[in-house]
A and B are shown apart, each in its own frame.
Chain A
Amino acid sequence: MKTREMPNVLGGFLGWFYLAITIVPIYYIVVTSIRPRSSYYSDNPLSIPTSPTLSAYREVLAADFLSYFTNSVIVTVVSVAVVVFLSLLAAYVIVRNRSTLTRRMFDLLLLGIAIPLQGVIIPVYYLIVEMGLYDTLWAIILPSIGFAIPLTVLILVNFLRDVPGELFESMRLDGASDWKMLWTLVVPLSKPAIITVAIYDALNVWNGFLFPLILTQSSDKRVLPLSLWAFQGSFTVNVPAVLAAVVLSVLPILAAYAVGRRQLVAGLTAGFSK
């Protein structure tokens, strides 16, 4: 796709047109969140508010938003840490231990990528209730880990396969244990893949809705996406506040996008791009 003699006018036009489709709703979210509640019903929805205010944000923060935020952080950090650690162990075994057993394990994990979580949510609910974990943060964390493992292992396996086997062999000959090899060889070498896959998993858990909806109930166990839904129910006549909550929920990811756009984009398509 090198530059041509004639600029692609039609392409450029459609490109800007699609930008408008993308940006207008996002712009709407932001301007409405700073619009005074009283002028929501009278202003043009896309006009810049004449007297912008942060009162919607104050209302949201006063409505326990920070505790939902904290829940989301806990759930995301714990899930991602466990997923990445366990998947790295598994990937290390799958790449370096070439028995039939490990191959069968890998086959099973690959099957897991195609299992739609929506289809099996009822048995997951049953298991969580039976384990006595219903309405705890663990009820979100544990299944999130289980469903993130297959793709995470696959991505790490594909990465680790490119590490020359001689590195492992020579360390082994020097008498290094599995554990030592893991920390001095596998972890440092697979750092880029770990970052990519951790971002992918973190986004999924952070934005996840179905597990929290079905497996938790009380407001002190609420995570952000669920709290947005709850805000919408309780602030029906206060649209600026609901949209302020939306802005606050996306801020951490937006910050990550601003700082590490490349990693984030790589993370988003991890495992699917060719």
Chain B
Amino acid sequence: MSTSTHGAGASAPAPAAERVDPTASWRGSRPRGGRNGVGTPGPSVWLAVPALLFFAFFAIIPLLGVVVLSFMQWDGLGTPVFIGADNWIRVLADPVAQNGLKLTLLLTVATLAIQMPISILLGVFMAGTQKYRAFLSVLYFLPLLFSAAAVGIAFKALMDPNFGLGRAFGLDWLNKDWLGRPGLAMPALLFVICWCFIPFHSLLYQGAARQIPVTLYEAAKIDGAGRISTFFHITLPQLRNTIITSSTLQIVGTLTSFDLIFIMTGGGPGDATRVMPLDMYLRGFRAYDMGAASVVGVVIAVLGLLISFLLNTLSGNTKMDSQMEGA
């Protein structure tokens, strides 16, 4: 890469981290913006129309469409026919769908409980200035480069009951049919999901931890606070907003996690890992019951939107909040 790009890169991360805080710039620029806009005419609104059309056509219309389709009967080929609330009644009473909701909730709570503490610790650890930590950080991020398909395939081979991990370490208890046994498949998936996403969340915490003013730590040191006490009384409270952002992304991410599970277990064995997105896929694109699949889709979409709004309103300082302000 040319030196000019390198120069841009060297200066990019720190300012970029501030820049992408939407609320700050939104709040900051509003009063200023009012004055700026007066002097000369702004650009034509038409320039924004193509982006808006694309987005409306492929995101907003489908959001409404999934609600409409949930009241229709459609096999994916012919014309959808309106059948009222039949799909809803059928799906809500279906133990498989209920199981899907239960598994999704379970997975969400479990990923949050495992990923959050590890990514906070790892992020704070990586924010340290020691050379070896910078070196470790470079390697920690490697999982982020792999597609979910690649990760799923690799772990499927690693979790092979005969030629996988157990054999590698000579540990018999690892020689299990991790993905083939109902009780083991979910914990195995949980491990792989965490392996995939902890680096991303650590990255968020690393960025946030680096912005904590050094003076806070110096003051704590003068007061004689130990490392653990400093972590709980300074670092954690300072990471509050990042914790909310990261949790939102984790919850919505787990709610919608499909690729990894699809590749590794396909929802099985039996229905042991048939979480909601898998349930939707199997109903729609395997059983060609698009109406029932749309019911599950609506539940996923509504839960996803609700959680995003709720957590962002609670935080009072993130993306959705700027939207509230803008309205």
Using CB atoms and an 8 Å cutoff, list the residues of chain A in contact with chain B: 1-4, 8, 11-12, 14-16, 18-19, 21-23, 25-26, 28-29, 32, 40-41, 44-46, 86-87, 89-90, 92-99, 101-103, 105-127, 142-143, 145-147, 149-150, 153-155, 158-159, 161-162, 165-166, 168-169, 172-173, 178, 181-182, 191-193, 195-196, 206-210, 213-214, 224-226, 228-229, 232, 239, 242-243, 246, 249-250, 253-254, 257, 259-263, 265-266, 268-274
Contact = CB atoms under 8 A, between A and B. Distances in A.
Contacts of B167: 44-45
Contact of B51 (A89, A173, A178, A206): A89
A103 B326 contact: yes
B43 interface: yes
Nearest to B41: A172
A127 B62 contact: yes
A117 B218 CA distance: 46
B52 A195 contact: no
A-B pairs with the 6 shortest C-beta distances?
A: A146-B58, A123-B65, A119-B301, A165-B36, A97-B42, A207-B147
Interface stretch (B88-96, B105-113, B153-161, B177-185): B153-161
Interface in B116-168: 118, 121-122, 124-125, 127-130, 132-133, 136, 138-150, 153-158, 163-165, 167-168
Interface centre among A14, A23, A112, A273 (most CB of B within 10 A): A273
Nearest to B241: A274
A232 B156 contact: yes
B136 A15 contact: yes
Nearest to A82: B54
B133 to A, nearest CB: 7
Given A1-B217, A92-B47, A250-B146, A19 B139 contact: yes
B148 A225 contact: yes
A122 B290 contact: yes
Contact of A195 (B8, B66, B200): B8
B227 A8 contact: yes
Interface string B30-62: 001111110111111101101110111111111
Contact of A209 (B65, B80, B149, B209): B149
A28 B1 contact: no
Nearest to B203: A269
A240 to B, nearest CB: 10
Given A25-B155, A195-B5, A274 B195 contact: no
A270 B276 CA distance: 28
A229 B148 CA distance: 10
A162 B28 CA distance: 9
B320 A89 contact: no
A19 B195 CA distance: 11
Contacts of B318: 274
A94 B163 CA distance: 56
A260 B9 contact: yes
B8 A1 contact: no
A155 B22 CA distance: 8
Interface residues of B, number: 142
A67 B303 CA distance: 39
Nearest to A151: B319
Contacts of B168: 28, 44-46
B101 interface: no
Contacts of B68: 123
A225 B52 contact: no
A228 B245 contact: no
B139 A23 contact: yes
Dominant secondary structure at the A interface: helix
B93 to A, nearest CB: 21
Given A108-B60, A158-B25, A243-B157, A169 B39 contact: yes
A25 B146 CA distance: 12
Contacts of A242: 153, 157
Nearest to B260: A209
A126 B293 CA distance: 13
Nearest to A269: B203
B229 interface: no
A45 B142 CA distance: 21
B59 A4 contact: no
B55 A109 contact: yes
Contact of A25 (B20, B139, B195): B195
Nearest to A178: B43
Contact of B48 (A15, A90, A126, A266): A90
Given A145-B54, A269-B207, A22 B33 contact: no
B97 interface: no
Given A98-B37, A161-B25, A226 B140 contact: no
B326 A249 contact: no
A252 to B, nearest CB: 10
12 contacts: A1-B217, A86-B51, A98-B34, A123-B68, A123-B69, A125-B284, A150-B59, A193-B19, A206-B147, A225-B147, A246-B153, A274-B17
Given A25-B154, A112-B60, A142-B54, 9 more contacts: A18-B122, A92-B47, A93-B47, A97-B45, A123-B69, A125-B284, A154-B22, A168-B40, A274-B318
B13 A262 contact: yes
Contacts of A153: 51
Contacts of B188: none
Given A18-B140, A209-B149, A273-B204, A266 B155 contact: no
A90 B157 CA distance: 45
